[in-house]
Amino acid sequence: MGSVGDNARVIAGRYRLDARLGRGGMGVVWQATDQFLGRRVAVKELALDETLSDADAEQQRERTLREARAAAQLRHPHIIVVHDVVVQNDHPYIVMELIEGGSLAGRIARAGPMGAREVARMGIGLLGALRVAHAAGVLHRDIKPANVLMEDTTGRVVLTDFGIAQVSGATTLTDTGSFMGSPEYTAPERMSGERTGPESDLWSLGALLVTAMTGESPFRRDSIGGVLHAVVYDEIRPPPAAAPLLPVILGLLERDPQRRLGTVEAERLLRTYVETGRMPSTPAGRAGGQPAALPVAGPGGYSPTYRDLPVRRPGQSAGPSRRRRRAMLIAAALVAAVAGAGVSAALLLGREDNGGTPPLPTQSAQTKTVSPSPSPTPTVTVTRGSRTPKPSTPEAPEGYRVTKDPRGFTLAVPEGFTREVDGPRVFYISSGGTFRIGIKESAPEPGGPQAVQRRADAKGPENNPGYRDGEVTETSHNGRPAALWQFTWDGFTQAEGARHTYDLCWEEGGRMFDVWVSAPLDKAREGRRYFDTAVDSFVRR
């Protein structure tokens, strides 16, 4: 995090950008000072796609501002307050209240799953927020743990980042074949490219409630194709830990939007649970199609799904509706397009880009990349190509090769890099040692990736001569909590000169992984490209 200085930028003649709080594909979030009112605020500096034509860039800017202004009209205790929307030098900024506290994603990563009553209270607040937004015709479209803030002093939960929010009625699968959102929290009808409404946000909330209670999204898989298949086809079986709120969860995760549990009913059920500790039955046959009673997890940890429940609405046939069959067919084509694309699943998943360097272009034809959401959970880019990579094998961009390391992982490394081993660490090093890619696998450590990186940052001066500009950012990797640590240091020798290091840490399959790249300071941008490719192509075998 930077420090306040005399030359701090001031936008709109009023908001002084004091320190950077985080960075994502949609822009940078700053801690700022409203010099007119003398209060601290958060300012999101929105990133615009520099590859667009002037006309398309102007259209994107106007759409962004229109949607931000719509979000600014929303008033609810659990919706982030938007104070102002300004433009300076053709660049849009959103000025918001500053929430002192981390995200739900960070809370889960640090402390693990939450209790059922705490999750129910959170759900009530978020349902109230969505009710207000939907009444105003605003859809959020990216509800996930990283977009829920938790205020330290009050415990208030706040729904933030309406950055890809959209006025209801607009499509979500664009003419270019691009898709925005976080796949593990995206409703099947949105995956299918159908016109969506408030029900899609409610599906996302259902997935979020499961994550809060169990520590993991119910649709987490090892590849984007797996995620899409899980959302559209797989039986939905929340883990036993979700049993106390199962009627609400299964109601929200109903694949048919017309049968999905509504805001009012979901809030009623959660309030009753908070007050009594018991989940009431829901009347069969009502709009929303929920059964009169849902069984909880049985022997062996089995959790029921709607396929286990014979209840259906009066006059409804046993098979799926024509609308749902159409959605499933479109989604099947979408899954097939992703599975057949000439890009590895890891490269299809966007990540936090804290270094400002775009990912390397792929070799697939007709590719349109969508910037990831400003929070840690990844976005999807639907890419159409011709070649099909081998399962679980990353595809090497031009100038790279895929290496299957003896330590049990696979990744793409630049041609000419050679392998070296130093205890538990594996290095791939360029000629002369200019660039160094490091990989380490270890047992999980207390506090998770964020705590590990913060401890490393604290020991930075001890382990890295001339350590400076250290920064740890909460992010995610393949949908799992992660932390990015980057810093500058003097190098091991005077002749070597100053260097910059990018280091990503995450947990997967009960193990902790660390991937980093060290590069000369004047070649940090090139080092960032090596880093992004190493992380995006990394596969544990």
pLDDT digits (tens), the chain, 541 positions:
444 445 679 998 999 999 988 765 567 889 999 999 999 999 988 776 667 777 877 777 777 777 677 778 888 999 998 888 888 887 888 899 999 888 999 899 989 999 999 999 999 999 999 999 999 888 888 899 988 999 988 889 999 877 444 443 333 333 333 445 588 999 999 887 777 789 999 999 999 999 999 999 999 987 888 888 889 888 888 888 999 999 999 999 999 999 999 999 999 999 999 999 988 765 433 333 333 333 333 333 333 333 233 333 333 333 444 444 554 554 554 554 444 443 333 223 333 333 333 333 333 333 333 333 333 333 333 333 333 333 345 567 888 999 999 999 999 999 999 999 888 899 999 988 899 999 999 999 988 999 999 999 999 988 888 899 999 988 877 778 889 999 999 987 777 789 999 999 999 888 999 999 999 999 988 999 899 889 988 988 7
Residue 367 located in a structural domain: no
- pLDDT in the model for residue 423: 85
* CA–CA separation, 524 and 70 (whole Å): 39
Q: State whether 220 and 73 are in the same domain.
A: no
Q: Which two tokens stand for residue 297?
A: 């997890």
Phi first, then psi: what are they for 414, rounded to 5°?
-65, 145
Is position 362 within any domain?
Answer: no
What tokens appear for 228 in the block?
């899409």
* Domain-embedded: residue 48: yes
Residues 158 and 277 in one domain: yes
DSSP-based three-state secondary structure for 44: strand
Q: Tell me the sheet residues that pair with 428.
A: 419, 437
User: Among all residues, which ones are annotated catalytic?
Assistant: 142
Q: Which CATH number is 33's domain given?
A: 3.30.200.20
Q: Out of 67, 97, 127, pick the residue that ends a domain.
A: 97
CATH number at residue 446: 3.40.1000.10
Q: Is residue 200 part of a domain?
A: yes
- Do residues 110 and 238 share a domain? yes
Structure tokens at 413: 């490394």
**Same domain as 88, residue 206:** no
Question: Does residue 126 share a domain with residue 82?
Answer: no
Tell me, yes or no, whether 121 and 143 share the same domain. Answer: yes
Q: Pick from 56, 79, 97: which residue ends a domain?
A: 97
Is 224 among the domain residues?
Answer: yes
Evaluate whether residue 5 is within a structural domain. Answer: no
Q: What is the pLDDT of residue 334?
A: 52
Whether 379 is in a domain gets the answer: no
Q: 424 and 281 share a domain?
A: no
Minimal CA–CA distance to 132: which of 46, 70, 51?
70
Both 88 and 110 in one domain: the answer is no
Q: Are residues 177 and 56 in the same domain?
A: no
Whether 186 and 272 share a structural domain: yes
Sign of the dihedral through C-alpha 515, 443, 481, 172: positive
**Residue 393 resides in a domain:** yes
Rounded Cα distance, 477 and 216, in Å: 13
- The domain of 139 spans 104-295+321-337
The reported pLDDT for the residue numbered 114 is 95
Rounded to whole angstroms, the Cα distance separating 373 from 22 reads 12
Give the pLDDT of residue 291: 35
Are both 276 and 333 inside the same structural domain? yes
How many separate domains does the chain show? Answer: 3
Distance CA 89, CA 69 (A): 19
Residues 93, 207 within the same domain: no
